[in-house]
Structure 1
Amino acid sequence: MTESSRDEQSMLTVGRVARLVGVSVRTLHHWEQIGLVVASGRSWSDYRLYDAADVARIHRVLVYRELGLPLAEIGRILDDPQVDPREHLIRQRDLLAERIRRLTRTAHAVEQMIERTTMTHDDPTTALSAEEQARIFGTDWDPAWQDEARERWGGTEAWTQSARRAASFTTQDWEDVAAQMTALEADLASALGRGVVPGSAEADELAERHREQIGRHYDCSHGRQVLLARMYTEDPRFTAHYDASAPGLAAWLRAVIEENARHHGVDPETAAWD
């Protein structure tokens, strides 16, 4: 047996390679036509034959294609004389790791959507889309806040009550909630600017409007409202939100809520959730 015939026997036909890597023969023909993967040899009957290096290149193409790169760019990457095979593998590993992270985040989001669909009695039309959330609550709305709330309060009576009420909300209901909260925050900022003092009748009225807004989601006692108000000065995200309407609004609103609670027999220092 000649050296040439032995080499030919160690190589694979286009059909064998197609089955091995999971692509069609037509795809391999196309890749050869555009110069992406060219078979290294030909049989005596002029069939394409692929060696181990050819198959390795096909696998690299498949990985880059899975990552979303166009074939032209894949060809430029693979033919770059400054990049050796090990660097290709490192690059592919890093790109795959990033893709895995993105897919994991996507899978988590899908799980949340499944939960929301279940919570809304298998009627996804009652759930808000990302576009609806941005339109209703503003572009700074972060869906991750819902996950954080679930971690902190999931399983509590208030959370269950909130989920049950949210399940009955229509898009119009959510728009009404957002509009009412926007109006309330504007009135709070106006009162602060006018020098309204915590504990005054006007301040107490605003505190009650605030409590009623929360009460649309779950029962909110004056004690619960006090505990929620603590976050307005202790969590920088809440502080930034309220102070964007008027500097110092977060601290003032906390004081307003605490003074109103005192008027209803609740000591803010010993306030309890239930």
Structure 2
Amino acid sequence: MGYPVGKVAALSGITVRTLHHYDEIGLLSPSGRTAAGYRSYSEDDLDRLQRVLFYRELGFGLETIAKVIEDPDVDALEHLRRQRVLLVERIGELTRMVDSVDRVIEAKQVGAALTPEERFEVFGEYREPEGYAEEAVRRWGETPQWRAAARPLSKEEWIEAEKVRRDWVRRLLDVVDSGAPADSAAAMDLAEEHRLLLAAFMGECGHALHREIAGMYATDPVQLGFLVREPDQRPGLGEYIRDAVDANAGRS
């Protein structure tokens, strides 16, 4: 049974023009012609077309596709096995892409419950740096702590969290300004309080993770700015917090 080019186009979802192009470049030439000279495709031709379209969907170029499907050492069953391997790889790739997109969505959802007016009301003039959400995904997107912390918060929850942050910073600055060292009881108590606040927000925060986070306060101004806004910062404050966290971890 022969299939005219229009029928093949309808069955495969590609255009007649594309089928003509495949014929012209020798990728898929119909096995027969009608009495009037029109192209006529056989069942074998349709099988070949199916393989062409499969490899095209996977992103192969037409020249590569021609080499693959014309390989004399690969029979029809081997083609199916090869296609299955590629499909599994593609599924894995797409799954990773979906996971990545999900993490970006989670990042974008942080604070999404707030309107611009509400964000100003809660945080004043402070704004998250451009691109930080994507950077956070790169750093922590695979961790369960990120999953827990990325959940959207209501306006009331943000207001309470910001109130707690401000109170903690106020008491930290009182200790710093008093001249107490980072390994003083007062500084270490504040470090432990900070760890427990993070644990409540992220689901868990052991001393090792707390040290890692505190280390960024000393090296990354953006991270320090999340905790202590720039007008409240003191020279060496990031290092002070890091050292207090280290001291607190050492006494546990």
Superposed pair shares fold, TM > 0.5: yes
What corresponds to 2:85 in structure 1? 94
* Residue in 2 that maps onto 1:81: 72
Secondary structure, counterpart of 1:15 in structure 2: helix
Check conservation: 1:117, 1:127, Cα contact below 8 A.
no
**Could you tell me how far 1:210 is from its partner in structure 2?**
11
Task: Tell me the residue number matched to 1:230.
Answer: 207
1:100 to partner: Cα distance: 1.4
Shift of 1:154: 6.9
TM-score (norm 1): 0.54
State how far apart, in whole Å, the 2-side matches of 1:112 and 1:164 are: 25
Residue 4 of structure 2 contacts residue 40 of structure 2 at CA under 8 Å; is this kept in 1?
yes
Which residue of structure 1 aligns with residue 145 of structure 2? 149
Q: Which amino acid is the alignment partner of residue 181 of structure 2?
A: E
SS class of match (2:40): strand
Correspondence 1:104 to 2:101 = no
Match of 1:63 in 2: 54
Deviations 1:68-107 (A, max 9, x none): 0100000000111111111111111111111112112222
Opposite residue 196 of structure 2, the aligned amino acid is R
Tell whether the 8 Å contact from 1:120 to 1:127 is kept in structure 2 after alignment: no
Query: How many residue pairs get matched?
Result: 192
RMSD over equivalenced CA pairs, Å: 4.6
Q: Which residue of 2 aligns with 1:202?
A: 181
Residue in structure 2 matched with residue 39 of structure 1 by the alignment: 30
Matches within 5 A, 1:1-274: 10-121=1-112, 129=131, 133=135, 141-145=138-142, 147-151=143-147, 202-204=181-183, 208=187, 221=193, 224=196, 228-232=205-209, 256-258=247-249, 268=252
Asked if structure 2 preserves the Cα contact closer than 8 Å seen for 1:226 and 1:254, the reply is no
Equivalent pair of 2:188/2:248 in contact (CA under 8 Å): no
Structure-2 change in CA distance of 1:127 and 1:36 (3 Å): farther
Are 1:14 and 1:48, in contact at CA under 8 Å, matched by a contact in 2? yes
Report if the CA contact (8 A) 1:31-1:37 is conserved: yes
Cα 1:107/1:128, change in 2 over 3 Å: farther
8 Å contact kept, 1:18–1:25: yes
Q: What letter is aligned with 2:41?
A: Y
- Residues in 2 aligned to 1:113 and 1:226: alpha-carbon distance in whole angstroms: 21
Q: Structure 1 residue 253: deviation in Å?
A: 7.6
Determine if contact 1:229/1:257 at 8 Å carries over to the other structure.
no
Aligned identity (percent) is 33
The alpha-carbon distance between structure 1 residues 231 and 84, as it changes in their structure 2 partners (threshold 3 A), is: same
Q: State the shift of 1:149 in Å.
A: 1.1
Q: Sort the Cα spacing of 1:54 and 1:253 in 2 relative to 1 into closer, same or farther, 3 A.
A: farther
Q: Is the 8 A contact 2:22 2:29 kept in 1?
A: yes
Residues 229 and 253 in structure 1, CA contact (< 8 A), matched pair in contact too = no
Matched letter for residue 104 of structure 1: T
CA distance 1:84–1:221, change in 2 (3 Å)? same
- Provide TM-score, normalisation by structure 2: 0.58
For structure 2, which runs of at least 5 residues remain unmatched after alignment?
A: 116-126, 163-179, 200-204, 220-242
Query: CA–CA distance in 2 between the matches of 1:55 and 1:40?
Result: 10
Instruction: Return the alpha-carbon distance in structure 1 between the equivalents of residues 189 and 46 of structure 2.
Output: 67
